[in-house]
Amino acid sequence: MFYREAGQFKASYQADQQIFPIRQDKIAVWALVLFFAAVVPVIADQYWLKAILIPVLIFSLAALGLNILTGYAGQLSLGSAAFMAVGAFGAYNFMLRIDGMPFLVAIVLGGLCAAAVGVLFGLPSLRIKGFYLAVATLAAQFFIVWALVKFPWFSNYSSSGVISTQEINILGFAFDGPTSKYMLTLAVVVILALAAKNMVRSSTGRAWMAVRDMDVAAEVIGIRPMRTKLIAFAVSSFYCGVAGALYAYTYLGTVEPEGFNLDLSFKILFMIIIGGTGSIMGSFLGAAFIVLLPILLDNFVPSLLGDLVSASFVSNFQLIVFGAMIIFFLIVEPHGLARLWQIGKEKLRLWPFPH
């Protein structure tokens, strides 16, 4: 009853094509953004900002990038972490080598480097699909990390490729504390999430989904599959690249190529499986879930079971829970938490009169 479209008639196509056509959705999204921008920085302590909120935002962005490629355009990738690495090392080198390089420009350029590399490794997608494409992106994952270690120029000849990021300064304001870094991350992520939402509801997004759902029919209606897939690779890698740059600059401060390993790529893949493929919101839900779950388990399992279990049991227990969740979502609900949320909303529309 409280959540419904009824009575909200659209008098124009413009009104019908708004980014959030249902008023309750619009209010909820902006309330959420406002909450995270105005309330959270006040109430959250340093630990929450540094160890939870910033990484959740950054992983959401990376998951969003992968979701564009896999969820919307239907091209499986296991190279997300490597594209993050390109963004991180790209931004670092632009900051390092060009005097007076503005930080925001550097992360955009880092993202563009990732986009270029993404297109390069997306070329096999024109020929191969599914499992074989996943293997090709796996090659990207290993090659990129290898190249970043092998050529010390990328890390400015530091030992073992570790880079320490420069200070962030935008228009004379130093982003040095957790609160300001959080705000900066939030701003970038919100802007890119809105842009993604816009892309997927326009003809770019329809072309991605058409290629995903039925590539022959897509081509017959005039969509060029090659171009469409490469654009998806470019946009996806751009998002991962910007996420990687933020990962280095606003989250860790010090990163090395090996930090962007296959484990991280899988983690991002699990985020979209659990959160929901083909959903912007799902990317956020999945990232929050995967960052928060281990923390919850760490805190609650020992206190529930006391001394009965060892620390190693707790960490194994995490893996078991992850595995079970992933199997659950793959088999029972391939559209993830976002779909469960949708079902909840549909129930809410009828509530409290289920018939």
Binding site for another protein (CB under 8 A): 12-14, 16-17, 19, 195-196, 198-199, 201-207, 209-210, 212-214, 216-224, 231, 235, 278
- Run of H or E residues at 169: strand 169-170
84 or 211: whose CB is closer to another protein? 211
181 or 335: whose CB is closer to another protein? 335
163-164 and 254-255: which strand pairing? antiparallel
**Residue 175 DSSP label:** -
Task: Please name the residue that has the structure tokens 């880079």.
Answer: 163
Q: Least Å distance between CB 167 and another protein? A: 30
209 or 340: whose CB is closer to another protein? 209
The answer to whether the Cα torsion of 26, 29, 33, 36 is positive or negative is positive
13 or 153: whose CB is closer to another protein? 13
198 or 299: whose CB is closer to another protein? 198
Closest C-alpha to 81, from 126, 118, 119 = 118
Collect all residues with Cβ–Cβ distance below 8 Å to 9 and sequence separation of at least 6.
Answer: none
Q: How far apart are CA 325 and CA 331, in angstroms?
A: 10
Q: How far apart are CA 83 and CA 118, in angstroms?
A: 7
Biggest distance spanned by C-alpha atoms of the chain? 69
Q: How far apart are CA 276 and CA 329, in angstroms?
A: 9
Q: Least Å distance between CB 278 and another protein? A: 6
Q: How far apart are the first and last CA of the chain?
A: 12
Collect all residues with Cβ–Cβ distance below 8 Å to 93 and sequence separation of at least 6.
Answer: 154, 156
127 or 224: whose CB is closer to another protein? 224
Q: Least Å distance between CB 307 and another protein? A: 50
And the tokens for 13?
């196509």
19 or 39: whose CB is closer to another protein? 19
Task: Please name the residue that has the structure tokens 């401060």.
Answer: 253
Q: Least Å distance between CB 213 and another protein? A: 4
42 or 216: whose CB is closer to another protein? 216
Q: Least Å distance between CB 162 and another protein? A: 34
Q: Least Å distance between CB 114 and another protein? A: 16
Spatial contact of 269 and 323, defined as CB atoms under 8 Å apart = no
Q: Least Å distance between CB 85 and another protein? A: 24
Q: Least Å distance between CB 6 and another protein? A: 13
In 3-state terms, what secondary structure has residue 170? Answer: strand
